[in-house]
Amino acid sequence: MSMFCFQCQEAAGGKGCTVKGVCGKTDVVARDQDLLIYALKALAWAAGKAADSGVQVSREVGRFVHYGLFTTITNANFDSAIFENAVTKALELRDGLLDEARSAGWDGNGAPVAVTWKPASTAEYSVKAASVGVLATENEDVRSLRELITYGLKGLAAYAEHAEKLGQEDDALYAFTMKALAATLDDSLSADDLVALTLETGEKGVTAMALLDGANTSAYGNPEITEVNIGVGTRPGILVSGHDLRDLKELLEQSKDAGIDIYTHSEMLPAHYYPELKAYPHLKGNYGSSWWHQREEFAAFNGPILLTTNCIVPPREKDNYLDRFFTTGAAGFPGAKVIANRSTPEAPKDFSAIIEMAKSCPAPTELETGSIVGGFAHAQVIGLADKVVDAVKSGAIKRFFVMAGCDGRQKDRNYYTDFAKALPQDTVILTAGCAKYRYNKLPLGDIGGIPRVLDAGQCNDSYSLAVIALKLKEVFALEDINELPISYNIAWYEQKAVIVLLALLFLGVKDIHLGPTLPAFLSPNVAKVLVETFGIAGIGSVEDDVKAFMSA
Ligand code: SF4
Ligand code: SF3
């Protein structure tokens, strides 16, 4: 075994990747990531100790921890050099905080091994990295809970980082991330303590998603119903993927007179729903489908591609687009061109290199024509509340299905397309995240003008779906969110979906079905707790599941 990773739904054999990631992560990068997580935990512990000693821990530390966690999300970053630099910085910050804690009176006792580890050179990183991965925790239930918390924190960190880029921060989130990371080093915590911390992670996940929702909507307006073109124009274009709306906004601004068009891919589709973004006439449309279709779709796009976050499918030598593949922020791939980070929080990034390249490229090859409709985030849906409530009262809408989450490349994900097709005509799908690509181009029709697929936006906009559910609970004067005619059939892939799941559990949502497979990182006992306490279940056959949901 040259690595071990089981953080995503595509973990090899449903157990874990041990030689090379199914995602394309090498054993070297896997170990780099293990070491970075270890160093971040040590940093978090040191920050806690410093704070307990009365030291003011700067926001810089919280920002760095969130950035570091974000880089280790599945498919975000494949660049060893980035991880090595981040480990060095984490250790420097750790040691600075420990010094401050000592000066403030800490006696230096009680530090776990991660906090006392001092490599003489970066060459020692690889030796250490081999011994600090997830399997270093021997008890499988403790390991399972520690990883569940860590993966939830990765998702939380990603959302908080996007909000930070838009100038919205919450010190309580930084403090929580550090408390929870440090807790994963604490051998004195019981399984019950860790279960409680898991739920608290869900609570803070709601806070992070709300923070990001506020950041996005205050910067770009409330998403509104929008028809998005899925065809192409005749001008060259830049294709933007990932979740970072500020990157897109700055690129739109800098390219508006360049004679090129900007297209979105995968999780960037919901950018079209924001008034301030769709106001740019050269935001031309959405090209292609979800993240895992990248190789074919990027090849056909003909122009430069910008990955602002996960999910990256590693380009191969034979792929013709490596020389027009750009990353920025937490995303990275060795050999890709990099758009440098902001020199100050206010200064825009400089997109001139990618814009210049686009000008000399051919226009995108047409993949399809037509349009899709989205923009059903909370403000828009609540604006339609009367119509929706009437449709429920009259029986025109019998049930809503929350089908948020991720897409992935496994064949059994056809389940979600078949499920959407098999749902009765008097049901409506509420979606967010790239899971939508399994059914957002199907002719599913509408119910009295309400489309049968309501897309709220990116995976973090699952928050919108929770706000909508809470609003309906209020309108129908119900005691419990679970009394609503809403079923949850969620698809997951990476760790942002983990925080979405934990957030829904914190909000009291029961009987969530999670697929296409349950996480490999859930030990049988931890899975049992989730099943018995929250009614979490996997998926079965489309026919059985539709029947069971409709009779719930
Ligand atoms: Fe395997 Fe997923 Fe880890 Fe990649 S992120 S190495 S596919 S478990
Ligand atoms: Fe998709 Fe990666 Fe998760 Fe953001 S882009 S939902 S998989």
**How many other β-carbons are positioned within 10 Å of the β-carbon of residue 101?**
24
- pLDDT, tens digit (0-9, with 9 covering 90-100), for 53-63: 999 999 999 99
| Residue with CA nearest ligand 1 atom 3 | 5
Nearest ligand by distance to the CA of 25: 1
CA of residue 431 to ligand 1 center, whole Å: 25
Q: CA-CA distance, 161 to 77, in Å (whole number)?
A: 15
CA of residue 310 to ligand 2 center, whole Å: 7
| Residue with CA nearest ligand 1 atom 6 | 21
Q: CA-CA distance, 258 to 268, in Å (whole number)?
A: 21
Give residues with Cβ within 8 angstroms of 544, minimum separation 6.
none
From 25, 34, 312, give the residue whose CB has the most ligand 1 atoms within 8 Å, as the site to mutate.
Answer: 25
CA of residue 10 to ligand 1 center, whole Å: 6
CB-based pocket (< 6 A), ligand 1: 5-8, 10-11, 17, 21-23, 25, 30, 74
Q: CA-CA distance, 288 to 459, in Å (whole number)?
A: 18
Give the ligand 2 atom nearest the CA of 405. Answer: 6
Q: Which two structure tokens, joined as six digits, stand for 186?
A: 């604490």
Give the ligand 1 atom nearest the CA of 11. Answer: 8
Classify residue 369 by burial, with Cβ atoms within 10 Å: 0-12, 13-18, 19+: exposed
| Ligand 2 pocket check for 494: Cβ under 6 Å | yes
Nearest ligand by distance to the CA of 497: 2
CA of residue 85 to ligand 2 center, whole Å: 26
From 244, 286, 493, 495, give the residue whose CB has the most ligand 2 atoms within 8 Å, as the site to mutate.
Answer: 493
CA nearest 26: which of 3, 51, 52?
3
- pLDDT, tens digit (0-9, with 9 covering 90-100), for 179-199: 999 999 999 999 999 999 999
CA of residue 61 to ligand 1 center, whole Å: 27
CA of residue 25 to ligand 1 center, whole Å: 7
For 375-508, strand residue ranges (E) read: 399-402, 427-431, 446-447, 450-451, 453-455, 486-491
Nearest ligand by distance to the CA of 493: 2
* Strands, sheet with 337-339, edge to edge from the N-terminal-most edge strand: 283-286, 261-264, 237-241, 305-307, 325-328, 337-339
Q: Which two structure tokens, joined as six digits, stand for 23?
A: 């995602």
Q: Which residues pair with 3 in a beta bridge?
A: none
Give the ligand 1 atom nearest the CA of 74. Answer: 5
| Residue with CA nearest ligand 2 atom 2 | 311
Mean pLDDT by 10 residues, the chain (552 residues): 96 98 98 98 98 97 98 98 97 98 96 96 92 96 98 98 98 98 97 97 98 98 98 98 98 98 98 98 98 98 98 95 97 97 96 98 98 97 94 97 97 97 98 98 96 98 97 96 97 98 97 98 97 97 97 87
Q: Which two structure tokens, joined as six digits, stand for 439?
A: 């059914």
Q: Which residues pair with 332 in a beta bridge?
A: 77
Handedness of CA 245, 249, 255, 256 (dihedral sign): positive
User: What amino acid occupies position 456?
Assistant: A
Nearest ligand by distance to the CA of 290: 2
Q: CA-CA distance, 516 to 155, in Å (whole number)?
A: 19
Classify residue 295 by burial, with Cβ atoms within 10 Å: 0-12, 13-18, 19+: middle
Asked if residue 455 lies in contact with residue 431, where contact means CB atoms within 8 angstroms, the answer is: yes
H or E element, residue 521:
none
Q: Which domains does the chain have, with CATH numbers?
A: 12-218 (1.20.1270.20), 226-359 (3.40.50.2030), 375-550 (3.40.50.2030)
Give the ligand 2 atom nearest the CA of 458. Answer: 4
CA of residue 200 to ligand 2 center, whole Å: 23
CA nearest 281: which of 235, 215, 346?
235
| Ligand 2 pocket check for 406: Cβ under 6 Å | yes
Q: Which two structure tokens, joined as six digits, stand for 111?
A: 């530090």
Give the ligand 2 atom nearest the CA of 310. Answer: 2
| Ligand 2 pocket check for 267: Cβ under 6 Å | yes
- At 1 the pLDDT is 87
- At 552 the pLDDT is 82
CA of residue 311 to ligand 2 center, whole Å: 6
| Residue with CA nearest ligand 2 atom 3 | 406
Give the ligand 1 atom nearest the CA of 8. Answer: 2
